[in-house]
Structure 1
């Protein structure tokens, strides 16, 4: 996995939008933050398929962890982060306090969601191992990676359901959206996963 982590770091560093987001977030001293999901795995898919950096990236999902689970506290962070960016990034960086997800997830997605202890626990709950990747620009300029299922699926362009949870209700939509932009993806049927 070390080789794939090194390759992921190279890909992330070659994406100016992703690097700007991470550099800005690091300067804001947000607690336990990490960029994950689309902006990360889609950057890999772009590199693997010869597409330009930034292709298909609609937003930058950022998780952070603050034990204050009030909406008011999260809203302060959302506004503070938005103010640090100019458009279009201002509208693309989406901050979510991972300490609050269990409060709203079931109502929005119809599935139970137990509370998390930190941001790095979140990717293990994502709908696919290929989506379960997060990165952070550390103070020493290294890029740390969290990938609870490894990086093979994301680099091999494989979409399969998360083996540790039921198939997500949004699975078909996620697959359709991904295939619309990266038709090279291989999709594993949930019944065969």
Structure 2
């Protein structure tokens, strides 16, 4: 691990320096960079590439692993409330299969405006309609996971959405976010991630034994 990739040092950097380091680290994941580039061409409203493929790329950098190590898929969120039918979302998913064809990764596309229609059946708790993709990212089971990026139309630096900052992401701290997902979702994900990244410090769900 190099000094510039030291998790404690990165976690203590000022936010502007953290953003610069984040963009540099993410750019080393060539698959992620290509997913973002192709996603920009889809023109989806309110889109972000988000979740594991982003924060796990950072974990890999600060633990000295290859950029794509442990990343199962690449999540692409967008928010389109103009048509909440499955047919409309499926049409976007089918287009995405063509756009992302040939990449060494699976890209999962979801219209976050539709999540409330199926969330309770899958996770056992109701979910209010999300007003934006940012609101959907806010509800991830861990605050550390609340991170999304997208390319701006002017070709400038990637836009970063990180409502809880970047300190925990760089510092390898997994912190629960008990706003929607049930405790078992957090603990299941945490256990799986600790197997791949044993350096993680997993904080207990509120009210649970450490």
Q: Which residue of 2 aligns with 1:53?
A: 67
Q: What pairs with 1:9-88 in structure 2 (closer than 5 Å)?
A: 9-67=23-81, 68-88=83-103
Q: What pairs with 1:86-165 in structure 2 (closer than 5 Å)?
A: 86-89=101-104, 92-141=106-155, 142-165=157-180
Which structure: larger Rg? Answer: 2
Distance 1:151 1:136, change over 3 A: same
Q: Give the 4+ runs in structure 1 shifted more than 4 A.
A: none
* Root mean square deviation of aligned Cα: 1.6
Write the distance in 1 (CA, Å) between the matches of 2:179 and 2:115: 18
Write the distance in 2 (CA, Å) between the matches of 1:112 and 1:11: 36
SS at 2:84's partner residue?
coil
SS at 1:175's partner residue?
helix
Write the distance in 2 (CA, Å) between the matches of 1:138 and 1:130: 23
Write the distance in 1 (CA, Å) between the matches of 2:132 and 2:181: 22
Q: Which residue of 2 aligns with 1:185?
A: 200
| Worse-superposed segment, 159-168 or 20-29 | 159-168
Q: Deviations over 1:157-179 (max 9, x none)?
A: 01121154564331221011101
Count of residue pairs brought into register by the alignment: 192
**TM-score normalized with structure 1 length:** 0.93
Deviation at 1:192, TM superposition (A): 6.9
Q: In 2, are the aligned partners of 1:109 and 1:169 still within 8 Å (CA)?
A: no
SS at 2:109's partner residue?
strand
| Worse-superposed segment, 3-12 or 165-174 | 165-174
Gaps of 5+ in 1: none
Gaps of 5+ in 2: 1-14
Distance 1:4 1:163, change over 3 A: farther
